Amino acid sequence: MADYRFNIHGDVNISLMRELIDEFIDPAYYEITGEDSADVIQINTEGSSDRDTVKREIYRRLCDLTGRKQEWGALTGVRPVKLAGELIESIGLAGARERLSDFYYMSDEKIDLVTDMYLYQKQLFGSAEAKSAGVYIGIPFCPTRCLYCSFASNQVPDTEIERYMPVLLHEIDHVGRRLEETGGFAESIYIGGGTPTTLDASQLRMLLGETGKAFGDRIKELSVEAGRPDTITVEKLAVLKDMGVERISINPQSMKQETLDRIGRSHTPEDIEKAFSIALAAGFDVINADIIAGLPGEDEQDFALTLDRMIDIGASNITVHTLAVKRGSRLHEEDKQYHYRAAETVKAMLALSREKLDGAGFRPYYLYRQKHMAGAMENTGYCRDDKACLYNVRIMDEHQSTLAMGAGGISKKYYPETNRLVRIPNVTNYQEYISRIDEMIERKENTYFMEDKNAD
């Protein structure tokens, strides 16, 4: 039985409103009704169709109702730094701070975080050049599937990977050629997934060779996610290094064996130690480590141990994720209320990560939020010695096009005149991707390259 009932009037986006209420109240305890009666909480009785106005009203009413405030206030959406940046560019820093406080009800701490971060990004990378693109290449395979995974990740025999690779190389070759023909260029390349190092050494060499040929020599950054330590070998690292990769990710998530077993990772903390040691010996300039706050069964101390180890081990980027329990993940199936219960623990973990990383000379440089995150918090990328990831910054800033190849890749064409992005998704299922590759290429031709075709 629901404890709260809301009746939201007017032509507003109910699923957005539901999301906002969800951040405060477990969905098991409320319902949005069509009723008008005294014991139902009436919202937007004037019938405004302005989303922000209704959102702000809901936020204020929920604060009164629950006695709680959110650090992010009434701000929903994945990219708060982008919003801060656009405000700074249009009304200046003081105006932006005022707006984030008075209009979105954000806390001073979050306002400092997003405004400082935007200014830091600008200092490091400036603005994206017109015609530049970030390139993403997806390898949708992993050795096992993690408990919380909702990405394109398949556990398949080698023969399936062998079927996928030529198709992917065909797309890379086509897109690289068309980008050049239409006057564009790739600024950064990110090979992600899945786990790209599921590929063997010769497949990695071929992939990097073809990628280099396709996207030429204006690349400022080449990153490969070597996420799962159980896929990393000296031979593969030598190939990556040889082919010009400077940045890799080795993602422990946790250094506690019990947690690794629980979340379905087929490796040990010792595998992580070993992967770091061979990657450092191979001379990688930047090694990122992804860790997760709020993993099932973990307390603050477990999280602190993982964090300390990553700082000591020599990671120069550390990305602190908040566990997102998305639909489609095994964790969501097993425990739909998990992220509500974990909220307080997660907050404490994130505060701890800020303090420890700050003390160790790291600086936050990019950030994004997701739906269904424990405690409605955020994911934050930290870097040491200004070694920030250009691709990550641009993709969150959304003032540059993205060209994504492979199953699950989502390209976005950026139109600076209107500050608009148009999505061009590839299919997520890798088998569909293989059989429908011509259609995937056609989609890019008809959208990404269309404008340039018309200009000829």
Which residues form the interface with ligand SF4 (CB under 6 A)?
142, 145-146, 149, 151, 153, 193-195, 227-228
Which residue number, 74 or 292, has a Cβ lying nearer to ligand SF4? Answer: 292
Which residue number, 121 or 251, has a Cβ lying nearer to ligand SF4? Answer: 251
Which residue number, 146 or 245, has a Cβ lying nearer to ligand SF4? Answer: 146
Which residue number, 195 or 380, has a Cβ lying nearer to ligand SF4? Answer: 195
Phi and psi based region of residue 69 (left: phi greater than 0; alpha: psi -120 to 50; beta: remaining): beta
Which residue number, 174 or 267, has a Cβ lying nearer to ligand SF4? Answer: 267
Phi and psi based region of residue 47 (left: phi greater than 0; alpha: psi -120 to 50; beta: remaining): left
Taking the complex as a whole, the smallest distance from the CB of residue 30 to ligand SF4 amounts, in Å, to 31
Which residue number, 251 or 400, has a Cβ lying nearer to ligand SF4? Answer: 251
* Residue indicated by tokens 């404890």: 3
Separation between Cα atoms, residue 267 and residue 75, nearest integer Å: 38
**Is there a contact between 382 and 180 (Cβ–Cβ < 8 Å)?**
no
Separation between Cα atoms, residue 57 and residue 67, nearest integer Å: 15
Which residue number, 146 or 248, has a Cβ lying nearer to ligand SF4? Answer: 146
* Residue indicated by tokens 């005149």: 417
Taking the complex as a whole, the smallest distance from the CB of residue 406 to ligand SF4 amounts, in Å, to 13
Give Cα separations from 176 to 134, 171, 213, 223, 359 (angstroms).
Answer: 12, 8, 8, 17, 43
Which residue number, 113 or 204, has a Cβ lying nearer to ligand SF4? Answer: 204
Q: Beta strands of 33-131 (E only): which ranges?
A: 41-43
Helix (H, G, I), strand (E, B) or coil at 416: coil
Separation between Cα atoms, residue 119 and residue 365, nearest integer Å: 10
Taking the complex as a whole, the smallest distance from the CB of residue 291 to ligand SF4 amounts, in Å, to 13
Taking the complex as a whole, the smallest distance from the CB of residue 152 to ligand SF4 amounts, in Å, to 7
Which residue number, 184 or 192, has a Cβ lying nearer to ligand SF4? Answer: 192
Cα angle 341, 342, 348 (rounded to 5 degrees) comes to 135
Taking the complex as a whole, the smallest distance from the CB of residue 147 to ligand SF4 amounts, in Å, to 9
Task: List Cβ<8 Å contacts ≥24 apart for 11-15.
Answer: 11/47, 11/49, 12/44, 12/48, 12/49, 12/51, 12/54, 13/51
Half-sphere CA count of 306, side-chain side, radius 13 A: 34
* Residue indicated by tokens 């069509």: 34
**Is there a contact between 167 and 440 (Cβ–Cβ < 8 Å)?**
no
Taking the complex as a whole, the smallest distance from the CB of residue 106 to ligand SF4 amounts, in Å, to 30
List all residues 6 or more positions away from 361 whose beta carbon is below 8 Å from its beta carbon.
384, 385
Helix (H, G, I), strand (E, B) or coil at 412: strand
Helix (H, G, I), strand (E, B) or coil at 364: strand
Question: Which residues sit opposite 354 in a β-bridge?
Answer: none
In this structure, the number of other CB atoms found within 10 A of the CB of residue 184 comes to 22
Which residue number, 82 or 267, has a Cβ lying nearer to ligand SF4? Answer: 267
Which residue number, 228 or 247, has a Cβ lying nearer to ligand SF4? Answer: 228
Which residue number, 274 or 330, has a Cβ lying nearer to ligand SF4? Answer: 330
Tokens, residue 304 = 């602190």
Q: How many residues are recorded in the chain? A: 456
**Is there a contact between 298 and 254 (Cβ–Cβ < 8 Å)?**
yes
Tell me which DSSP letter residue 77 carries: S
Taking the complex as a whole, the smallest distance from the CB of residue 364 to ligand SF4 amounts, in Å, to 22
